[in-house]
Amino acid sequence: MSKEKLLFSLLLDISSMNKEIGTERAQLELPKLICTLLEADGCALYFSKSDRDGLFLSKHYSLPKGHVFVDTWQKHWSPLSDCAVYINNHEMAKSFAEDNSFKTCLILPLHIGGKIAGVVLMGWKSTCPVDELSPKDQQLCQLIAMLLSDVYCVYPLISKLKQRETNLAALYRKTEDDLETSRKKVSLELHDEVGQVLTSILLQLKLLQQSDDLEYVKGRLGGLHHITLEALDEVRRISQNLRPNLLEKLGLQATVGAHIKEYSENTGIEVELRTHNLGERIAENLETIAYRAVQEGLTNVARHSGANKVIISLTIKGSNLFLQIIDNGTGMKKSDVYGTGLLGMRERSTRAGGKFWLVNKVDQGLTINMLLPLV
């Protein structure tokens, strides 16, 4: 089969494979397909990582008892071309595999947004069937590289964006539901608690207006004073639930400590608070994010985990605030790992430039981790 037909056949097979079996399976199967169709002895894909320079081995395939590819592409990063490159230099080709067996190689750069995001490497122990590339061959190679870029780089990003969109929609619905629930709760508390007390005060004031007995009035004023203080305490309690005054006055550690005390009394769940290097006050928005995460984390424990002990750690590590919530419960099902409450934590930490991750062990418990930059 001619080079042109080989490359065209590979182009069609890549396209049909992605449509038939989906992107995730295609990512695993494509190196084998490339090796089979082009009779290559090995195929490897290298991609960049956002937090590190260079290209790193991601996927590979070789024949049984085949080749061990080098882990990084850094040695060959500089001479990468924007188009397909055929290497018929044994000294250079052999360096791509640890057994130094390649004699010829074909390299396809993968582009995203005008930048090289990855490389497909094909190696042969002998002559490559697509050795010298004509302008038409180069065009086919470019189309193949574009398809591979879509499969390995573009489609996963689109999938992540769609998932994020779904998560944000769920989070929005949850926020709206929570807001409406909070409004109803505050309305009921104001009506049932504060409203009744104020009604009682109003009735007693009317009685006092009708009385000419000063001693009687003085006696009733003491009772009114007590009832008024009760109403004030109730208003403060409702206000505290909406936004803790302690957080503004005393800071994160004291507010979390107070919440833990009340939580343990109400649920019977033991909660241990560990702090390290929490000296000076941190930014108000970070204190709020961390406190809300503690609230949500403890709520999840009480509702879902079956735990009887929780450890909360608040630590300043370098220029970051690290929050960790560990419970000894049953862990979470995979489908529930990012429920709307946890999505809210992740979203708030992301908006603050932080990181959020979970360590979920079924029947052993869940660990919530949040890292927030202080600057």
- The CATH number of the domain holding residue 297 is 3.30.565.10
Residue 172 lies in a domain: no
Residue 264 lies in a domain: yes
For the stretch 34-50, what's the b/e string if a residue is b when 16 or more beta carbons lie within 10 angstroms of its beta carbon?
bbebbebbbbbbbbbee
Among 242, 270, 288, give the residue marking a domain's end.
242
| 237 and 266 co-located in one domain | no
| 359 and 282 co-located in one domain | yes
Q: Return the structure tokens found at 360.
A: 């979920």
Among 216, 242, 268, give the residue marking a domain's end.
242
pLDDT on residue 310: 95
Q: Return the structure tokens found at 199.
A: 């009604």
Residue 171 lies in a domain: no
Give 240: exposed, middle or buried? Use CB within 10 Å, 0-12, 13-18, 19+. middle
| 231 and 111 co-located in one domain | no
| 24 and 143 co-located in one domain | yes
Q: Are 263 and 298 in contact (CB under 8 A)?
A: yes
The stretches of the chain forming alpha helices (DSSP H) are 3-21, 23-38, 90-93, 135-149, 155-189, 195-209, 214-242, 245-249, 252-267, 284-300, 340-351
| 102 and 82 co-located in one domain | yes
Question: What is d(CA 302, CA 338) in angstroms, rounded to the nearest whole number?
Answer: 17
Number of domains in the chain: 3
| 16 and 136 co-located in one domain | yes
Q: Return the structure tokens found at 129.
A: 């069937």
Domain, as residue range, for 97: 3-162
| 299 and 187 co-located in one domain | no
- The CATH number of the domain holding residue 152 is 3.30.450.40
Q: At what angle do helices 23-38 and 3-21 cross, to 10 degrees?
A: 160
Question: What is d(CA 362, CA 187) in angstroms, rounded to the nearest whole number?
Answer: 40
| 85 and 127 co-located in one domain | yes
For the stretch 320-330, what's the b/e string if a residue is b when 16 or more beta carbons lie within 10 angstroms of its beta carbon?
bbbbbbbbbbb
Residue 168 lies in a domain: no
DSSP three-state, residue 170? helix
As a dihedral over the C-alpha atoms of residue 207, residue 212, residue 218, residue 222, rounded to 10 degrees, the angle is 0
First-to-last CA distance in the chain? 61
| 73 and 148 co-located in one domain | yes
Q: Return the structure tokens found at 97.
A: 């595999």
| 24 and 84 co-located in one domain | yes
| 258 and 290 co-located in one domain | yes
Provide the 10 A C-beta neighbour count for residue 365: 22
pTM over the 0.75 mark: no
Q: Are 28 and 59 in contact (CB under 8 A)?
A: yes
| 18 and 158 co-located in one domain | yes
Residue 18 lies in a domain: yes
Residue 123 lies in a domain: yes
Mean pLDDT in consecutive groups of 10 residues from the start of the chain, 375 residues: 78 81 81 84 80 72 66 59 77 74 83 80 80 77 82 76 77 70 70 73 78 78 80 73 71 90 91 89 89 89 86 93 93 65 83 90 88 91
Residue 169 lies in a domain: no
Q: Are 369 and 356 in contact (CB under 8 A)?
A: yes
Q: What is the DSSP string of 180-234?
A: HHHHHHHHHHIIIIIHHHHHHHHHHHHHHHT---HHHHHHHHHHHHHHHHHHHHH
Helix (H) / strand (E) element for 320: namely strand 320-327
Among 219, 242, 265, give the residue marking a domain's end.
242
